[in-house]
A and B are shown apart, each in its own frame.
Chain A
Amino acid sequence: MSIKAGLGISTDKDSIKAVKEAVLQAKQNLGDNVPPNVAIVFSSMEFAHLTMVKTISSMLGPIDVLGCSTAAVICNAGIFRHAIGIMLLSITSDTYYATGNITDIKYKTAMKAGEEFGEKLLAGFKSARRDLGIVFSDGMIDKNSNLIYGIQERLGSSFPLVGALAMDNLRYSKTFVYYNQTVESDAACGLIMGGNVNFGLGIKHGWKPLGKPRFITRASGNIAYEIDDIPAATVYEDYLDCNLKELRLELRRIGTFYPIGIYLPGEEEYLLRNITDIGEDGSLILQGNIPENSQIRLMIGTKETCFTAAEQAVNEAKSDLTANSAFFPKINFALVFDSISRYMLLGRDAEKELDAVKKAVGPGVPVIGLYTYGEQGPLKSIDYHGKVYLHNQTISVLLVGE
């Protein structure tokens, strides 16, 4: 038995009462005699975040607390826009783990901060084989791709890593990352595990390509200057039949519903990039990096393709989990990182995605998750050797089993 999990959720308006309720539930679900080592915490914005993590520590003693703020907490009972969700993990001694965090990412630059973060995680892990990493980072960091590159510099580029970009309540102003008794913006925290840990990972978005293929003819980092030798934003002006000013006004909707898809040979799906801003020169500022000469398409998502993708993601995770063992293993818990774009697209049907996940993992398996501004996960085709990228619009499902 590697990792046991107990889930707790509270919608009480009082931060301390909510934490107490969620922790007690999680402890009860974990089992009275099972000591927790790690707490994964997701919380909506209105709670007193520092009080929250301090209360968790005072209730549970010196355990590792990891998590971040979100617009809505996902768990078996549903999707809660005003809640604290806690999953307590009891990791037995045959599974190794280490936690760490990094702050002042902007000052250090995302790449350097990523490297330092990777080193910290490795220092805690010593020489044991590492199998899986989980990372939560500030959703407002400009060059989040670079943070991953930095981590990969230290942990290896094919090291399986899943991550979520913290959210606020869709104000796009400030997000929080929790690590032990601290609450920080401009920061990241994470956990790496090895030894006896069996997991499966599925990541899908369901957005489909539309229109003719185009090429990024000039780009740098996360900025696409030109598409087919004309200012990048012109493509959107043309598609939507609007001028730059109108485009800016509708940016949140357009950037979310019609992102750019980068064609990756061998991959089932395109790698999506949300547009976060439009430069004065008509360049598109994207949430992740985009290489020059990439073949791109305009992407479109529908509710149906979203649901199908959610089913595919959880089934892929299940297949992945099965591939690593001789018989179908018992699923101990599920972690879901769901893009806020999907929530906006699905509207009142958002819970159907959760239903698909719950149906696939079966009854009694604790599911915790959050809505994110971006997701990190590996590409699976041979060409990419499991290299981790920043994704948009995806639902990523991590299943941890016996």
Chain B
Amino acid sequence: MDSEILVNILWLAFASAALSLLIVFLKKNEKIKYLQSAVDTLQKTLEEMDEQAKLIVRTDIALNKTQEELDKKLTGLYALQRLSRAISTTLEEKHIFRKIEISHLEDLGFEKCCAFLWNTDANEFISYLHIGYMEEETEYIKADLAEKRGFYLDIIDREKTISSISLQKEMGRLEMSKVFRANSFVISPIMPKEGDKGFIFFGAGADMPLTEGDEEFIILLANQVSQALDNARLFEHTWMAQQSLERKVEERTQELSLALEEVRSISKRKTDFISAVSHELRTPLTSIKGYAAILIEEKLGALPPAVKERLEKINRHSDELVRMVNDLLDISRIEAGKTAMKLVPQDIREMTASVADLINIQCKNKEVELITEIPESLPQVMADRSQIERVFINLLGNAVKFTPQQGRITIRASQEQGRVKIDISDSGIGMPPEALERIFEEFYRVDNKINQHVKGTGLGLPLVKHIIEAHQGRIWVTSIQGKGSTFSFTLPSIN
């Protein structure tokens, strides 16, 4: 009985243990299922994330490409701007191409560059630039240019840019790639308005995918180079013209200097001659005058009236001759610089007053009115008194001579820019315009009725001119025929 109970108890325990195990197993199984499902979800999430990662990478690579392209464009534009500035300020043809440097090329996305201009005289392409090429590679290109000059000249003639994009394989793209050693390339014509034309080549290796934007950049650059060439040539032309002009001016100046020297030499010879002749004349004149005086004074016996009259004429003419000789001597002395002007401060008012005293008698005799209008505030002048008095006497004497009765002579003085200007005007017969130019020439006399009757040497005004100029002054005349003349001269004033 006990054993039966024990068996039952054991069975019961076994059954409950089995039940517990079953419950645990069921629970574990549930957890495993849950975990499996969690792992599956995680795996799925991971796969989804991986798919998202792929999307991110694809988007990122596209973005990077766009960014690169944008960066390239910006860098290219910046390089183009720098290059344009450098080129446009260059005024020497050869230097324009030298401004293109490897860093510009790289910023524009290229590795190689060369430029050639067609020289019509030499009948060949001349190299102006090569970057990224060895010497022998440049020679190879030159040889190809010589061989296929028609093709390259056509690019220039048609003003057309070609590139590895626009040029088809059969049109020689591969061949050009071989010649210029570049897979991607742009050739753009350089078309200045004047002078040699040509083209510029930009190339890069296989890594550089050329875009139409790159082509545009090169066209812009080629235009810039063309414009710079025009500027440089214009500048050179202008510069050459200026040089030639300067040379001509120099030549003419030299010729004029020689001519002036010649004139001076002739003038000096003339002055020396006049001086010598005058001296030589004065000695016999003095004798003639002396003997005439002895005879007139009847120291050698009484003379018949007719003889005396003739002798007086000899004496008078001799006096005129002496005056003339003296004037000539004065002129030649002043010209030769032998007569030093004793420049001291002088009062024009006082000087004119004393000269007017002398001339007043002639005026009264001829019933001519003499007026002086000289302001009190007039500054003093630097002058040699005796010489300037000669000037006044000469000019006033002429005025009296050519002014008819009831006429008027006016002496005016004014101040202007460190000088004093004196005008002597008359209401005389005046002069014709052509006489104005020659009036100060030696021995020139205006052809008019008065001069035909009144004697004169033609040396008065030249002497006056020499005296004024020796004072660093200026003399000139204005005149209206039939109305009168005005002689004006200036003298340096004391400030």
Contact = CB atoms under 8 A, between A and B. Distances in A.
Interface string B21-65: 000000000000000000000000011011001101110110011
Interface stretch (B67-75, B147-155, B216-224): B67-75
A240 B60 CA distance: 10
A298 interface: yes
B68 A298 contact: no
Interface string A237-271: 01111000000001011100110000000000000
Given A254-B61, A257-B64, A348-B74, A211 B103 contact: no
A39 B318 CA distance: 108
Nearest to B67: A347
Contact of B68 (A240, A254, A347): A347
From B61, B68, B75, residue with most partner A Cβ within 10 Å: B61
Given A46-B102, A81-B103, A81-B106, A210 B61 contact: no
Which DSSP category, helix, strand, loop or mixed, fits chain A's interface? mixed
A52 B53 CA distance: 48
A174 interface: no
A238 B64 contact: no
Nearest to B63: A302
Contacts of A112: none
Given A212-B47, A347-B67, A348-B74, A241 B103 contact: no
Interface in A363-396: none
Contacts of B50: 211-212
A298 B60 CA distance: 13
Chain B interface size range: 20 to 34
Nearest to A11: B103
A241 B53 CA distance: 12
Nearest to A258: B57
Say whether chain B's binding surface is mostly helix, strand, loop, or mixed: helix
A300 B106 CA distance: 27
Contacts of A82: 102-103
Given A212-B49, A253-B64, A257-B64, A300 B57 contact: yes
B54 A239 contact: yes
A260 B339 CA distance: 110
Contacts of B67: 347
A389 B195 CA distance: 63
A210 B56 contact: yes
Interface string B283-306: 000000000000000000000000
Give 6 closest A-B pairs by Cβ, nearest first: A211-B53, A347-B71, A212-B50, A210-B53, A211-B50, A212-B46
Given A82-B102, A240-B57, A300-B56, 16 more contacts: A81-B103, A210-B53, A210-B57, A211-B49, A211-B50, A212-B46, A212-B50, A239-B53, A240-B61, A250-B61, A253-B61, A258-B61, A347-B67, A347-B68, A348-B71, A348-B74
Interface of A: 13, 46, 81-82, 210-212, 238-241, 250, 252-254, 257-258, 298, 300, 345, 347-348
